[in-house]
Amino acid sequence: MPAKPALRTELLFYLSFLAAAALLVGVATMLLATSFAPERTFLLVMLLVALEVAVFIVFGRHLVNRLVLWPLERVVATADAVADGDLGRRAPDEETRDFATLAERLNRMTDHLLDAQGQLVRSEKLASIGRLAAGIAHEVGNPLGAVGTYIEVLRRRGADPEVVAGVTRELERIDRIVRGLLDYARPQEEDLAPLDAVAVARSAYGLLEAQGALKAVRASLEVAPDVPRMLGRVHLLEQAIVNLVLNAVDAAPGGLVIVAAQPWAYEPRPAVPRRAGDPPDTTFPRRPERRPARTDFGAGQPGTLLYVADSGPGVPPDDREKIFEPFYTTKEPGRGTGLGLAIVARAVHDMGGVVWVDTAREGGAAFKMFFPEAE
């Protein structure tokens, strides 16, 4: 893409053109007036000068409008819309470098405002979920223990085994929901430490492989060379990878599941992360959606990209922001609590990273986690 001209250069060029044109037209006017009507030279010169001034004014007004006023109006309109709360508004690109830079900076500021608002809303949700979880743990925990005791008494007294098994299964489901709420809302006190994301990914993959959780799919682990170290907690990162892989296995039975790690430079706007086996000319079309970010991220932030991709049905674009919210699930009733991805999002956020979902090259969903490089 050719470099855009600076506003100063454009104005100097057109002003120089106007000055040269004015001189040439002035000389031509004098020559015409003295040649064709020498007795009315003054009157003819005045008429031609007035006509030329009018032409230059019209041209100059159009020039100032096109290069200065209209781009400024668009930027001001975008700023007013953002100030009124429309954080989805973006300033359009402009033809001069100065206004294009101004629009890009305004859009970047809006992105940061949107990220800060998202983090504030998420913090408020965490506080609300924390209070809810504490109340549930207090109000439901003791009755659950008592119900478990009564179930054991019924089993020993010869109650119908099928009924006892069904009640036990539903009781365990309630217990998982309560524990999931506590895991989601519980603050993490442990400090972040440099860790090897590749080693954690290999460990999580090996654990699932040893347990037979990957037998239903064709799974593979792809690790690029020179993956930088990141700040995090081993158990949180392993938990996030395990949750994502188990979701992929559920989404793509008999299909492909890929766990991968690679070095990557983060950009808020979509760019094509290349895989190790891609040929040089491979491109992958993607919707022009903004990725989630953090206010402390800069463009081109180097770090580690971990992702889990599958060949399942994928995630509809309208659901990509919702699936990380507590209790939101696309699974059938009884198969999911809607807390797995919320716990992943909480873990990634606590470790200073971001998580989002794209369309995988295998046709399904690609859940991606980015963490800045450890200094």
pLDDT (tens digit, 9 = 90+) per residue, 12-43? 777 777 777 777 776 776 676 667 656 666 66
Cα gap 272→257, rounded to integer Å: 20
Question: Which residue in 72, 68, 75, 73 sits closest to 103, CA to CA?
Answer: 75
Q: What are 323-372's pLDDT values in tens digits?
A: 887 766 766 655 555 677 888 888 888 888 989 888 888 888 999 999 99
If asked whether residues 340 and 284 sit together in one domain, one would say yes
Let me know whether 211 and 130 are in one domain: no
The predicted structure's pLDDT at residue 284: 46
> In this structure, are 172 and 250 located in the same domain?
no
Q: Is residue 183 located within the same domain as residue 196?
A: no
For residue 373, list its beta bridge partners: 230
Of the candidates 162, 187, 212, which is a domain's last residue?
187
Q: What's the mean pLDDT in 198-216?
A: 91
**How many C-alpha atoms does 109 have within 13 Å on its Cβ side?**
12
- Max mean pLDDT range (138-142, 229-233, 282-286): 229-233
> What was the pLDDT predicted at 143?
81
Best CA proximity match to 144, nearest among 177, 182, 180: 177
Tell me what pLDDT residue 8 has. 72
Domain of 37?
1-187
pLDDT of residue 201: 94
Count how many domains the chain has.
Answer: 2
pLDDT at 172 over 90: no
CATH classification at residue 230: 3.30.565.10
Regarding whether 209 and 166 lie in a shared domain, the answer is: no
Rg (CA), the chain: 32
Which amino acid makes up residue 118?
G
361: left (phi over 0), alpha (psi -120 to 50) or beta: alpha
Of 25-29, 162-166, 186-190, 332-336, which gets the smallest average pLDDT?
332-336
More confident residue, 186 or 1: 186
CA dist 301 and 298 (Å) reads 5
- 236: burial class by Cβ within 10 Å (0-12, 13-18, 19+)? buried
- Same domain for 215 and 303? yes
Any idea which residue has 């913090």 for tokens? 123
Q: In 3D, which of 13, 10, 14, 7 has the Cα closest to residue 100?
A: 7
Q: Are strands 218-223 and 230-232 parallel, antiparallel or unpaired?
A: unpaired
The pTM (predicted TM-score) of the whole model is 0.59
What pLDDT shows up at residue 183?
67
Q: Could you identify the residue written with the tokens 């400090």?
A: 191
Identify whether residues 183 and 169 lie together within a single domain. Answer: yes
Q: What is the pLDDT of residue 258?
A: 94
Q: How far apart are CA 157 and CA 44, in angstroms?
A: 121
Top mean pLDDT of 15-24, 47-56, 302-311 is at: 302-311
| Contact present, 159 and 150 (Cβ < 8 Å) | no
Q: 266 with 285, same domain?
A: yes
Domain boundary among 157, 187, 217: 187
Q: Read off the DSSP letter of residue 40.
A: G
Half-sphere exposure of 72 (CA within 13 A, CB side): 7
Other C-beta atoms closer than 10 Å to the C-beta of 166 total: 11
Choosing from 142, 164, 187, the residue where a domain stops is: 187
Task: Tell me, yes or no, whether 180 and 233 share the same domain.
Answer: no
Mean pLDDT across the chain: 78
Average pLDDT value for residue range 76-94: 81
> Side chain identity at 158, as an amino acid letter?
G
Pairing, β 218-223 against β 256-266: parallel
Q: Which amino acid is at 204?
A: A
Average pLDDT over residues 216-220: 92
Q: What is the pLDDT of residues 244-285, one digit of tens each?
A: 999 999 888 989 999 999 998 887 655 555 555 555 554 444
Residues 6+ apart with CB under 8 A from 306: 197, 201, 237, 241, 260, 261, 368, 369, 370, 371
pLDDT of the residue at 4 = 72
